[in-house]
């Protein structure tokens, strides 16, 4: 059995994490225990820092059942609907055969691991289905787990409570490894464990796996037994910038560990040079940087990629060594402004395409016709009263970001707030959730029966018949309003 699973934390007290993180998670869980429905948690951070272990340990601590969907499972919209949707809205039966009802505080925890990979081709529609489920405010708690939370849509992040994990330090990892050695009856010098922990780079799971591989068939672990290869840890571009501008220690080695090409790195250095250097030093640094750019040009023209190392050396250590002494004080480094402009233009184009796709789909017209219709839609959303404009926006399922693109921030916020307040939506877009009832605050059976009897006694027979007629007519009217534009303008 893998030690990672054998020594996985059983309760929240066993979890190795920052105290603030554990406290925030417990506060969230206590709220659910009291019957307060909350947004799902989004546990974000690098792999191996205990995100999944914390979620499972929390369920054990609170006495909740667990429904887990991980990266190895397909997570298309119908899978999300069948497993996550039914799990989040329906009651369940425990392994012992006990019926668990959320009204009595007997909850189950829905865990979705690696949701940042849910946008893959085979998971088509999964994120939008998940977002619709979350907006329904299910009566069961949910925890989403992601290594790269910003790969998720901003709307999904906005509908969760994000808690960020950091890599564990060496001492935290060593303490866990010591407990495992003690439980396994293995004698191991603390310096050996420090070496394993340092090699893991803050990844507790990797450290435990390394320890198990080294200890296989041994009762004593000596320094010469530690033969694990050095793990290459990606460094941060901001740390490289600090090393270039704030120290005299050669930085080209750190640049090799970056997940950035030399073409990208030179833009980072170019953007931040004026923030650190002045006058003659700035001039000299740009001269060195221009030489690095010459090498990059030769790589592009001749495909001589061996020249990359010379370009990287010049743009890092070369720029670093022109200063007479390290620059003091804090500097807020910024990404290349060109990237921001390109990203902004790309996002605008993507929003434009999304809007055209929705207009074409729901108005039953081609993309070319949608382009012609778009100015009229903008005018309607801008000039009509809020209620009518919000109904049109809901008809086309326009997000706040798409509304901002069409009518500006202030008007978009006004329309979006109206849609959220009155819960306007297209029925057919959520047909896969039609089996789920809207989440209500828990009430006892006695309260429900009492309300039903009270309403029945207060209503006269004729009034009840009128009410039933109105309800039947209202269903038909509501269906027509959701599916056509005529209802927005009083048409039949």
* pLDDT digit string, tens, across residues 61-91: 988 888 887 644 555 556 666 666 666 666 5
Residue 361 lies in a domain: yes
Q: Which residue has the higher pLDDT, 437 or 26?
A: 26
Of 312, 335, 358, the residue that ends a domain is: 335
Residue 442 lies in a domain: no
Residue 78 lies in a domain: yes
Q: Phi/psi zone of residue 196: left (φ > 0), alpha (ψ -120 to 50 degrees), beta?
A: alpha
pLDDT, mean over the chain:
78
**Confidence grade of residue 411 (pLDDT, cut at 50, 70, 90):** very high
Q: Are residues 241 and 184 in the same domain?
A: no
Kindly give, in sequence order, each residue whose CB lies less than 8 Å from that of residue 9, ignoring residues fewer than 6 positions away: 15, 16, 50, 53, 54, 56, 57
In this prediction, residue 479 carries a pLDDT of 41
In this prediction, residue 136 carries a pLDDT of 80
Q: Are residues 330 and 343 in the same domain?
A: no
Residue 350 lies in a domain: yes
**Confidence grade of residue 473 (pLDDT, cut at 50, 70, 90):** very low
Torsion angle, CA of 102/103/104/105, rounded to 10 degrees? 40
Average pLDDT over residues 90-115: 67
Helix %, strand %, coil % for the chain, to 5? 65, 5, 30
Residue 456 lies in a domain: yes
Q: Are residues 218 and 247 in the same domain?
A: no
Point out which residues pair with 43 in neighbouring strands: 145, 163
In this prediction, residue 379 carries a pLDDT of 92
In 202-349, which ranges are E strands? 220-221
Q: Are residues 20 and 127 in the same domain?
A: yes
125 known member of a binding site: no
Q: Are residues 206 and 310 in the same domain?
A: no
Closest CA to 354 of 303, 289, 403: 403
Q: Are residues 377 and 456 in the same domain?
A: no
Q: Is the pLDDT of residue 408 over 60?
A: yes
Average pLDDT over residues 136-160: 85
Closest CA to 402 of 419, 385, 388, 387: 419
Q: Are residues 30 and 110 in the same domain?
A: yes
Torsion angle, CA of 202/206/208/213, rounded to 10 degrees? -140
> How much is the pTM?
0.55
Average pLDDT over residues 366-389: 90
Place of tokens 């030489």: 291
Residue 329 lies in a domain: yes
Comparing 37-46, 83-92, 378-387, 426-435, the range with the smallest average pLDDT is 426-435
* Rounded distance between C-alpha atoms, residue 246 and residue 174, angstroms: 32
Distance, first Cα to last Cα, the chain:
68
Residue 71 lies in a domain: yes
46 known member of a binding site: yes
**Confidence grade of residue 170 (pLDDT, cut at 50, 70, 90):** confident
What is the CB neighbour count within 10 angstroms for residue 311?
Answer: 24
51 known member of a binding site: yes
* Rounded distance between C-alpha atoms, residue 24 and residue 455, angstroms: 42
* Rounded distance between C-alpha atoms, residue 75 and residue 81, angstroms: 9
Q: Are residues 127 and 40 in the same domain?
A: yes
DSSP secondary structure string, 44-89? Answer: E--TTSSHHHHHHHHHHHHT-EEEEE-TTS---HHHIIIIIIHHHH
**Confidence grade of residue 467 (pLDDT, cut at 50, 70, 90):** low
Of 164, 187, 213, the residue that ends a domain is: 164
Read off the tokens for 303: 């495909």
Q: Are residues 9 and 117 in the same domain?
A: yes
> Residue 258 carries which DSSP code?
S
Average pLDDT over residues 225-238: 59
Place of tokens 């417990």: 26
250 known member of a binding site: no
Average pLDDT over residues 115-135: 69
409 known member of a binding site: no
In this prediction, residue 138 carries a pLDDT of 83
Q: Is the pLDDT of residue 237 over 90?
A: no
Domain that includes residue 356, residue range: 339-433
- For residue 192, give the CATH number of its domain: 1.10.8
Q: Are residues 347 and 479 in the same domain?
A: no
Residue 62 lies in a domain: yes
Comparing 219-228, 339-348, 352-361, the range with the smallest average pLDDT is 219-228
Read off the tokens for 477: 């009217």
Q: Are residues 190 and 319 in the same domain?
A: no
Number of domains in the chain: 5
Of 335, 357, 387, the residue that ends a domain is: 335
Q: Are residues 132 and 197 in the same domain?
A: no
49 known member of a binding site: yes
* Rounded distance between C-alpha atoms, residue 378 and residue 362, angstroms: 16
Read off the tokens for 370: 């949608």
Distances (CA, A) of 25 to 41, 130, 159, 204, 205: 8, 21, 16, 20, 21
In this prediction, residue 153 carries a pLDDT of 80
């Amino acid at each position: 059995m893998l030690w990672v699973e054998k020594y996985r934390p059983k309760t929240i007290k066993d979890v190795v994490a920052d105290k603030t993180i554990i406290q925030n998670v417990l506060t969230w869980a206590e709220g659910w225990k009291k019957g307060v429905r909350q947004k799902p948690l989004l546990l974000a951070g690098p792999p191996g820092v205990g995100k999944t272990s914390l979620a499972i340990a929390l369920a054990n601590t609170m006495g909740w059942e667990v429904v887990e969907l991980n990266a190895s499972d397909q997570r298309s919209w119908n899978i999300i609907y069948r497993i996550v949707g039914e799990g989040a809205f329906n009651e369940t039966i425990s392994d012992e055969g006990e019926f668990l009802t959320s009204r009595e505080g007997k909850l189950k925890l829905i865990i979705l691991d690696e949701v940042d990979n849910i946008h893959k081709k085979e998971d088509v529609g999964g994120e939008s289905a998940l977002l619709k489920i979350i907006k329904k405010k299910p009566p069961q708690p949910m925890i989403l787990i992601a290594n790269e939370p910003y790969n998720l849509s901003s709307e999904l992040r906005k509908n969760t409570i994000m808690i960020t994990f950091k890599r564990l330090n060496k001492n935290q990892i060593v303490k866990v490894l010591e407990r495992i050695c003690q439980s396994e009856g293995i004698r191991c010098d603390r310096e050996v464990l420090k070496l394993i922990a340092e090699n893991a780079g803050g990844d507790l799971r990797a450290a435990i796996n390394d320890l198990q591989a080294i200890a296989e068939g041994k009762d004593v672990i000596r320094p010469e037994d530690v033969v694990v290869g050095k793990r290459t840890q990606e460094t941060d571009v901001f740390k490289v910038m600090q090393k270039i501008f704030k120290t005299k220690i050669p930085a080209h080695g750190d640049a090799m560990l970056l997940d950035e090409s030399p073409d990208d790195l030179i833009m980072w250095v170019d953007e931040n040079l004026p923030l650190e250097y002045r006058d003659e030093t700035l001039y000299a640094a740009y001269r060195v940087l221009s030489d690095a750019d010459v090498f990059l040009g030769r790589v592009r023209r001749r495909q001589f990629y061996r020249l990359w190392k010379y370009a990287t050396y010049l743009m890092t250590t070369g720029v670093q060594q022109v200063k007479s002494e390290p620059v003091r004080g804090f500097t807020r480094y910024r990404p290349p402004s060109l990237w921001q402009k390109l990203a902004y233009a790309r996002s605008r184009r993507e929003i434009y395409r999304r809007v055209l796709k929705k207009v074409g789909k729901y108005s039953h017209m081609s993309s070319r016709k949608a382009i012609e219709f778009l100015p009229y839609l903008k005018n309607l959303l801008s000039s009509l009263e809020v209620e009518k404009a919000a109904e049109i926006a809901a008809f086309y399922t326009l997000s706040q970001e798409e509304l901002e693109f069409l009518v500006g921030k202030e008007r978009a916020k006004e329309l979006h707030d109206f849609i959220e307040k009155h819960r306007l939506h297209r029925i057919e877009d959520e047909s896969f959730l039609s089996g789920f009832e809207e989440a209500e605050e828990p009430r006892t059976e006695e309260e429900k029966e009492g309300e039903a009897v009270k309403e029945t006694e207060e209503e006269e027979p004729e009034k009840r018949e009128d009410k039933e007629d109105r309800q039947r007519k209202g269903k038909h009217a509501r269906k027509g309003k959701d599916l056509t534009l005529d209802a927005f303008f009083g048409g039949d």
